[in-house]
Amino acid sequence: KQEVTQIPAALSVPEGENLVLNCSFTDSAIYNLQWFRQDPGKGLTSLLLIQSSQREQTSGRLNASLDKSSGRSTLYIAASQPGDSATYLCAVKAAGNKLTFGGGTRVLVKP
């Protein structure tokens, strides 16, 4: 059974500092990995999708890497801003089209 873990559960950084969010999964037989952002009381917004054949994806200040063999992905957010405060979730898609989510990392960027 696929298990996805995100550590730490919460993170607080001063504005301008780079953010590093970690995601680990137990079964490396995945189709893709997706990072989401969730604001309080809102739905999930897709940030980046990495296919299993890719090693990284970039979008603006966001960069996500994928190491299937070690079961890890890292989301980097450069030069954090208070507007980046949210919960970030990673999810992996394996056989059966099921997406398994991590518990999320709650980020607070202090001005």
Partner 1 sequence: DAGVIQSPRHEVTEMGQEVTLRCKPISGHDYLFWYRQTMMRGLELLIYFNNNVPIDDSGMPEDRFSAKMPNASFSTLKIQPSEPRDSAVYFCASTFRASGVTGELFFGEGSRLTVL
Integer Cα distance of 79 and 14 in angstroms: 10
Pairing verdict, β 4-5 and 44-51: unpaired
Within 31-50, which residues bind partner 1 (CB under 8 A)?
Answer: 31-32, 34, 36, 41-46, 49
Nearer of residues 8 and 103 to partner 1, judged by Cβ: 103
The window from 17-25, 55-63, 66-74, 101-109 that contacts partner 1 (CB under 8 A) reads 101-109
Integer Cα distance of 35 and 89 in angstroms: 6
Nearer of residues 13 and 32 to partner 1, judged by Cβ: 32
Q: Write the CA distances from 2 to 42, 99, 103, 106, integer angstroms.
A: 26, 10, 13, 22
Q: Does 69 bind partner 1 (CB under 8 A)?
A: no
- Contacts with partner 1, residue ranges (CB under 8 A): 31-32, 34, 36, 41-46, 49, 51, 89, 91, 93, 96-99, 101-104
